[in-house]
Amino acid sequence: MSSIPASAFLALALILFCIGLYGALTKKNTVIVLISIELMLNAVNINLVTFSKYGVAPSITGQIFALFAISVAAAEAAVGLAILIALYRNKKTVNIDEVDTMKN
């Protein structure tokens, strides 16, 4: 286990974050956008756990924090989906390009 260096975990988190960011900024389907955001959150969780093990001052706090982030993300996903459903009922679409009421 300890043979895997911290940089590998960090690289995985980076890749995951970039994929999530790409998806969040480019995908037209709002469901995909929400999933992409989850990806970015999980990338952060990986970072937290990694530093709780390999950080300058290893501590269990990082893992606990990751658990908090997961539970909050779950709640956030529920709220996000609820908003999405309300949006769909009003607009009959989940295409994010067509949701531009903030225009001008």
Partner 1 sequence: MEFVHEGCQAPCSIKGIVIMMENAWLIPLFPLLSFLILLLFGKRLKEASAYVGILFTLASLVYSILVLFERFSEPTYGTNFEWLTIGDLHLTAGFEVNQLNALMLVIVSLVSFLVHTYSKGYMQGDERFPVFYAYLGLFTFAMLGLVISPNLLQTYIFWELVGVGSFLLIGFYFYKEEARAAAKKAFIMTRIGDVGLFIGMILLFWQTKSFEYKEIFAAVDAGEISTSMITLTAILIFIGAVGKSGQFPLHTWLPDAMEGPTPVSALIHAATMVAAGVYLVASLFPLFAASKTALLTIAVIGAFTAIFAASIGLVQTDIKRVLAYSTVSQLGYMMLALGSAGYVAGVFHLMTHAFFKALLFLAAGSVIHAVHTQNIEEMGGLWKKLKLTGPLFLIGTLAISGVPLFSGFFSKDEILAAAWEGGHPILFLLALIAAFMTAFYMFRLFFMVFTGEARGSQKHVHESPANMTYPMILLGVLAIIAGYVNTPWFGTFLGDWLVDGNEALAQHGHIEGPVWIMIAATVVSLAGIYLAYLMYYKRSLARNWLSGTGDTLHTIVLNKYYVDEFYQLTVLAATTAISYFLRFIDVFLVEGLVKGVVGIVQGLGRAGSKLQSGQVQTYGAVAFIGLALLVVIFAFTGGYLR
Residues that bind partner 1 (CB under 8 A): 21, 24-26, 33, 96-97, 99-104
CB closer to partner 1, 59 vs 95: 95
Amino acid symbol at 57: A
CB closer to partner 1, 27 vs 53: 27
Residue 32 CB, nearest approach to partner 1 (Å): 12
Residue 52 CB, nearest approach to partner 1 (Å): 24
Does residue 67 contact residue 1 with C-beta atoms inside 8 Å?
A: no
Cα 68 from Cα 49, distance rounded (Å): 12
Burial 53-67 (b: 16+ CB within 10 A, else e): eeeeeeeeebeebbe
CB closer to partner 1, 40 vs 66: 40
